[in-house]
């Protein structure tokens, strides 16, 4: 012990208050986690099992083994699914999930008050005067309270039964109660230094504000168990007996298991975080007491040493659950404060896990009530990221500052970030958000991006701390740390918002279906795509990334924080580090790692950015009228500008990393962003302004940042750091350069708010690709059909039957006169049926679509007051509805071989023509003739905007024709079927040719239209 004492005196003393301990932020993180978990618990145990029925009605097979089909099915029928959930499985009132955290806080408040009353109850403790009639102890306590800077001596009681030589303080910081153990009173004369040390330690708790936080933590923990954990376990256990015999058990089992594991994980998470906060505050109370004059040997309490081997590992794990650290650790912290400044793996893991759970639970609440959106997601992410940055970032700043002041190796932050990312990854997997019905998501490897994000966060934060420690000259480091932590919060919040809003989709649906995306691109950007197949292969992926990144509201602010905040270090005037002198008795020279000169940082970006102007000029020369021509020309222009700027960013990052090896990360970020901004400025000057390049600005800026991080990481792994060149004292010039860069970073965000139609957003189904055909088991197929009928299908069919009967009665009552008010209900049925789920069986779904078309014809003929035709279509729709019911009954019985075919009424040619056939032929003839006449008139110089609606109208005519009656005569029916096939192909080719600017295909479509006109005219001889 004397050897330890001597080493403590010889080592440089670092004030533990140099940077905040971060325990208050960690306590806040713990509280918010418990509140968020309470919200999630209410949503979970009030969730109606009818939600499974809506899922089955949507045609989802939960037992299929892949979640992608389920996601695509629901995404393709989102309005129907939301309507079903709102009617049959509505969430609880919005206030109920919020009332549960309020209940948790109320119960915790009662427990908090009860703890003080219980500990200070009569029969357990006695007033100090009862054992100190002469006031000797009271005078000693008053003297020590004055040393501790307390305004008045707290209330003091004695526990005469307790034989230990300790004390405890409880109550609250404003009204603390100090309880002295009987053993301490008895031993005060033989061990005066120990008596002073114990009392100063308890007074330190009061001075540091630990009392309220300590007992609030205990109260919240107990309330959390009673109000949140226990109800969740009870509800889960009660639901178990009804599930194992269900055919959906294989889909339900992963969720139930994850629920139990997540509950256990959260219990462990909260308890470990709580214990870590309390242990840290004990050590800080020891240090405060020593600073007030408590003797070090007053804390020297004999304790068996930590065992070795396996027993030592077990003992170390058990130590993590203790709320008070071992005396050996406390003594070591008193003699060497480096243990307080280290970044430990467990707290970082806990912070990461807590961050993801907070973000996910609050997001689930907002999504449940359809309040989620990009800005709302960003706000939730800022809350979670702010707490995480405050806790994890503070630990990293403390570690870097201590390493610099004691001339020890500076931590890179990567290891701490990996643990932070590991915690986020585990929580993300346990929540099951991306594994709908399976044990793991379809692509769990994508979740490992959390580990990468955590490593980048830790690396950037630690490097930012090193830069500030090396350059800051203020009286305290806290202002610089506050700026750095705010930037770190933005960075982490941007990542969480991107993941929550779009990144998580890749866990279910990666890779992207390129064929569907190509079709979308060809339709949105007409042009000769056959000549640019290579570019067409890359553009769909780029568009998907643009759609996911552009929607993050603070994406550009995040990138600006990554490079502007470090750049501010070059604006600080050289001088003595006053903050270091205030917290350490020995300040090393030089302090930290000197920053390189500003020209070394900026020149790579400036030179490569200016060089990009030449490449952009070539691109502009190749596409001189990109904005005016639009279509594929504009898309190619944007693609080549993106390629030029990314190449510029790579060169700038490599050059900056080579020149500034000590600060590779920041040098690369600054250089790539300067080069990118200059390149965008070149596109602005040489092109038509921001609207021309606006759609890719966010993607370019974000991609440049990613490129610089990758280059810096590779350089750090394989490159050797060099001694940086110290900057000169021209601080005014440096500040001017930094100011210009900051203004440019702010200005580049403006185009994000300029509306642009340049880049389409890919639909969710295009992101995942087609769901594929369902291969559900007969039992699941029966459940799907039962659900389809129960949750709206049967009601729609019954509603049609009732409204049809009313319509027929109305016609009879009015002797064939139709009141158009009677047509409205039929139109309502059409809209409701069109918005309902697809029928789970493909062939029956085609009949269902025919039924919808027939009801549409009823409503249309009703509006035209065509009584006879309306009645005819009602009879046809009634027959189709009967077939749907019969097929559904047969499928429910599990006998698909006896399904009824779709009804097909045949009419004599005159009746067929009078009931809509002639109108369909006339509509097609008129529309096709207009196209042919227009093409002849303009002599081939076709305006796409005029022809495309005409082709779309022809496609609608052929669709109506395919649902029309058949002709009883064989030869006219053959011609009619031939006409439908010709017209459908001609309309489709016409639209495709216009979207692709394919002249040859458009000419072929015109020939097909001419042939279809001839066939249509042959159906009804004149």
Concatenating the DSSP letter of every residue in 359-398 gives HHHHHHHHHHTT---HHHHHHHHHHHHHHHIIIIIHHHHH
Measured between alpha carbons, how far is 851 from 830 in angstroms, rounded to an integer? Answer: 9
Identify the pLDDT of residue 352. 94
CB neighbours of residue 949 within 10 Å:
11
Measured between alpha carbons, how far is 123 from 675 in angstroms, rounded to an integer?
76
CATH top-level class of 915-1018: mainly alpha
* pLDDT at res. 660: 85
Task: Check if the beta carbon of residue 447 is closer than 8 Å to that of residue 428.
Answer: yes
900 burial via Cβ count (<10 Å: 0-12, 13-18, 19+): middle
Q: Give the closest residue to 166 by CA, choosing from 194, 141, 132, 128.
A: 194
pLDDT given at position 390: 92
475-494: pLDDT as tens digits: 888 899 999 999 999 999 99
Alpha-carbon gap, residue 160 to 138, rounded angstroms? 16
In 914-969, where does DSSP find H-type helix? 918-938, 944-962
Give the pLDDT score at 123: 75
Q: Could you tell me the residue ranges of all domains in the chain?
A: 22-47+92-241+252-299+314-335, 595-721+730-740, 778-900, 915-1018
Q: DSSP letter string over 984-1021?
A: HHHHHHHHHHHHHT-HHHHHHHHHHHHHHHHHHHHHS-
Q: How far apart are the first and last CA of the chain?
A: 117
Residue 426, pLDDT score: 92
- In 625-689, which ranges are continuous DSSP H helix? 626-629, 631-659, 664-686
Tell me how far apart the alpha carbons of residues 534 and 529 are, in angstroms, rounded to a whole number. Answer: 10
What pLDDT sits at residue 765?
43
Q: What integer pLDDT is reported at residue 704 of this predicted model?
A: 92
Residue of 525, 529, 519, 518 whose CA lies nearest to 999? 529
With a CB cutoff of 8 Å and minimum separation 6, the contacts of 408 are 338, 402
Rounded Cα distance, 600 and 606, in Å? 11
Tallying the residues shown for the chain, one arrives at 1022
pLDDT of 286: 85
Contact 149, 208 (CB under 8 A): no
Residue 87, Cβ neighbours under 10 Å: how many?
A: 12
849 closest CA partner among 892, 804, 814, 881:
881
pLDDT < 70: residue spans in the chain: 1-20, 65, 241-244, 297-310, 312-316, 509-537, 540, 543, 546, 585, 625-631, 687-692, 719-731, 745-775, 895-905, 940, 996-997, 1022
CB half-sphere exposure, 964, CA atoms < 13 A: 28
Distance CA 670, CA 969 (A): 79
CB 691 within 8 A of CB 711: no
């Amino acid at each position: 012990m004397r050897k330890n004492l001597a080493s403590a005196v010889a080592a440089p003393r670092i004030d533990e208050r140099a940077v905040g301990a971060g325990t208050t932020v960690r306590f806040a993180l713990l509280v918010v986690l418990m509140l968020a978990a309470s919200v999630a618990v209410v949503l979970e145990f009030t969730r109606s099992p009818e939600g499974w029925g809506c899922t089955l009605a949507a045609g989802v097979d939960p037992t299929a083994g892949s979640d992608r089909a389920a996601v695509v099915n629901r995404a393709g029928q989102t309005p129907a699914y939301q309507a079903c959930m709102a009617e049959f499985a509505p969430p609880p009132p919005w206030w109920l999930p919020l009332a549960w955290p309020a209940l948790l806080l109320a119960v915790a408040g009662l427990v908090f008050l009860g703890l003080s009353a219980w500990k200070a109850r009569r029969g357990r403790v006695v007033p100090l005067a009862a054992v100190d009639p002469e006031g000797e102890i009271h005078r000693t306590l008053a003297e020590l309270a004055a040393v501790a800077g307390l305004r008045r001596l707290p209330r003091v009681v004695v526990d005469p039964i307790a034989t230990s030589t300790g004390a405890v303080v409880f109550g609250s910081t404003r009204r603390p109660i100090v309880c002295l153990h009987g053993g301490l009173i008895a031993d005060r004369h033989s061990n005066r230094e120990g008596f002073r040390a114990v009392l100063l330690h308890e007074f330190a708790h009061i001075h540091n504000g630990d009392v309220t936080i300590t007992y609030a933590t205990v109260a919240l923990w107990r309330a959390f168990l009673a109000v949140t954990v226990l109800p969740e376990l009870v509800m889960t256990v009660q639901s178990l007996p009804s599930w194992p015999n269900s055919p959906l058990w294989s889909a339900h089992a992963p969720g139930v298991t994850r629920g139990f594991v997540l509950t256990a994980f959260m219990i462990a998470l909260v308890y470990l975080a709580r214990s870590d906060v309390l242990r840290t505050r004990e050590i800080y109370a020891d240090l405060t007491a020593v600073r007030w004059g408590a003797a070090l040997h007053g804390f020297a309490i004999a304790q068996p040493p930590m065992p070795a081997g396996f027993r030592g590992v077990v003992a170390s794990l058990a130590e993590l659950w203790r709320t008070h650290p071992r005396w050996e650790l406390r003594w070591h912290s008193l003699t060497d404060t480096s243990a307080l400044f280290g970044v430990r793996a467990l707290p970082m893991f806990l912070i990461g896990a807590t961050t993801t759970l907070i973000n996910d639970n609050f997001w689930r609440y907002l999504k449940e009530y359809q309040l989620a959106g990009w800005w709302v997601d960003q706000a939730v992410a800022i809350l979670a990221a702010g707490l995480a940055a405050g806790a994890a970032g503070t630990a990293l700043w403390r570690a870097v500052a201590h390493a610099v002041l004691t001339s020890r190796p500076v931590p890179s932050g990567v290891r701490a970030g990996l643990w932070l990312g590991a915690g986020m990854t585990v929580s993300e997997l346990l929540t099951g958000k991306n594994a709908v019905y399976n044990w793991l998501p379809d692509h769990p490897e994508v979740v490992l991006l959390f580990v990468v994000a955590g490593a980048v966060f830790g690396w950037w934060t630690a490097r930012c701390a090193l830069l500030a420690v090396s350059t800051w000259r203020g009286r305290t480091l806290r202002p610089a740390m506050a700026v750095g932590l705010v930037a770190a919060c933005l960075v982490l919040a941007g990542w969480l918002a991107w993941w929550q809003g779009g990144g998580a989709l890749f866990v279910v649906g990666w890779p992207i279906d390129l064929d569907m995306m190509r079709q979308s691109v060809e339709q949105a950007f007409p042009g000769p795509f056959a000549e640019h197949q290579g570019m067409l292969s890359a553009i769909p992926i780029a568009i998907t990334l643009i759609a996911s990144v552009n929607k993050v509201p603070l994406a550009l602010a995040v990138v600006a924080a990554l490079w502007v905040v470090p750049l501010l270090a070059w604006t600080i005037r050289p001088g003595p580090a006053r903050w270091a002198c205030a917290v350490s008795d020995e300040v090393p020279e030089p302090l930290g790692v000197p920053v390189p000169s500003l020209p070394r940082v900026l020149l790579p970006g400036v030179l490569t950015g200016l060089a990009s102007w030449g490449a952009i000029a070539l691109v502009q020369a190749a596409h001189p009228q990109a904005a005016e021509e639009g279509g594929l020309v504009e898309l190619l222009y944007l693609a080549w500008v993106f390629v030029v700027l990314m190449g510029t960013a790579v060169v700038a990052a490599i050059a900056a990393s080579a020149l500034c090896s000590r600060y590779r990360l920041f040098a690369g970020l600054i250089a790539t962003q300067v080069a990118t901004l200059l390149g965008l400025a070149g596109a602005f000057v040489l092109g038509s302004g921001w609207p021309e390049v606006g759609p890719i600005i966010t993607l370019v800026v974000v991609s440049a940042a990613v490129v610089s991080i990758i280059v810096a990481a590779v350089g750090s792994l394989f490159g050797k750091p060099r001694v940086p060149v110290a900057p000169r004292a021209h601080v005014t010039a440096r500040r001017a350069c930094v100011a210009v860069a900051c203004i440019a970073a702010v200005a580049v965000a403006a185009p994000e708010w300029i509306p642009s139609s340049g880049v389409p957003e890919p639909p969710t189904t295009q992101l995942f690709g087609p769901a594929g055909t369902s291969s559900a088991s007969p039992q699941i197929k029966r459940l799907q059909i039962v659900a389809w009928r129960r949750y709206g299908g049967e009601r729609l069919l019954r509603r049609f039957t009732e409204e049809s009967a009313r319509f027929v009665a109305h016609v009879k009552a009015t002797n064939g006169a139709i009141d158009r008010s009677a047509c409205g209900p039929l139109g309502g049925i059409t809209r409701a049926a069109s918005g309902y789920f697809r029928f789970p069986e493909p062939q029956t779904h085609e009949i269902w679509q025919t039924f919808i078309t027939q009801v549409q014809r009823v409503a249309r003929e009703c509006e035209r007051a065509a009584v006879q035709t309306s009645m005819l279509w009602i009879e046809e729709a009634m027959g189709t509805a009967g077939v749907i019911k019969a097929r559904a009954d047969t499928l429910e019985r599990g006998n698909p071989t006896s399904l009824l075919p779709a009804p097909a009424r045949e009419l004599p040619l005159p009746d067929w023509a009078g009931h809509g056939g002639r109108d369909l032929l006339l509509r097609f003839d008129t529309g096709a003739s207009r196209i042919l006449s227009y093409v002849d008139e303009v002599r081939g110089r076709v305006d796409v905007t005029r022809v495309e609606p005409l082709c779309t109208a022809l496609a609608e005519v052929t669709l109506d024709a395919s649902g029309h009656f058949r002709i009883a005569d064989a030869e006219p029916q053959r011609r009619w079927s031939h006409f439908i096939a010709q017209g459908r192909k001609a309309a489709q080719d016409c639209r495709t040719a216009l979207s692709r600017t394919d002249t040859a295909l458009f000419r072929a479509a015109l020939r097909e239209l001419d042939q279809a006109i001839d066939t249509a005219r042959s159906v009804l001889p004149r």
